[in-house]
Amino acid sequence: MIKLLRVDERLVHGQVALAWTNSLNADCIFVVNDDVRKDKLRLTTLKMAVPAGVKFVSKSVDDAVEVLNSGKTDKYKMLIVVDSVADALKLAKGTGLVTSVNLGNMKRLEGRRQLTSSVFATDEEIGAIRELLSMGVSVGCQPVPTEASVPVETLI
């Protein structure tokens, strides 16, 4: 069961590993990212941030779609973390299991406009967000569980 799909360019770090897993009572952090699967050092670093007793899984986007559709992950209460809106959209389109997306951290870069203090997006990313919304997926900006989620449609 997907408890939360979060877009966070940092992937797994203190907020994700502790605050979100505790808040959601998640027992699995599922990092979906094509590049992480190719970088053993980064994969090892991400694993080290995961709290004891929480399962860590990392797959490419295509492999994640396959495993989510297979039902093998149904027994877990998963926090899925991607580093881009594009990957969140691919998961939503590929599985039909994504009902909401949390925009947690998308850093300030040239060409991105500010939506919140921790979320910046390009026109292309906003297009992907609009596509998620058109699919019926709710999209909100929420850096930590103790703050209220702000519906992204009020920001774009």
Q: Which residues are part of the catalytic machinery?
A: 13
What CA–CA distances, in Å, run from 139 to 13, 15, 149, 155? Answer: 21, 19, 9, 11
Among residues 142, 67, 60, 59, which one has the least CA distance to residue 100? Answer: 142
User: Token pair for residue 72?
Assistant: 């093998």
Residues 83 and 33: beta-carbon distance below 8 Å: yes
User: Token pair for residue 133?
Assistant: 């919304």
Tell me how far apart the alpha carbons of residues 18 and 50 are, in angstroms, rounded to a whole number.
Answer: 8
3-state helix, strand, coil in the chain (%, to 5): 40, 25, 35
Phi, psi of 29 (to 5 degrees): -105, 120
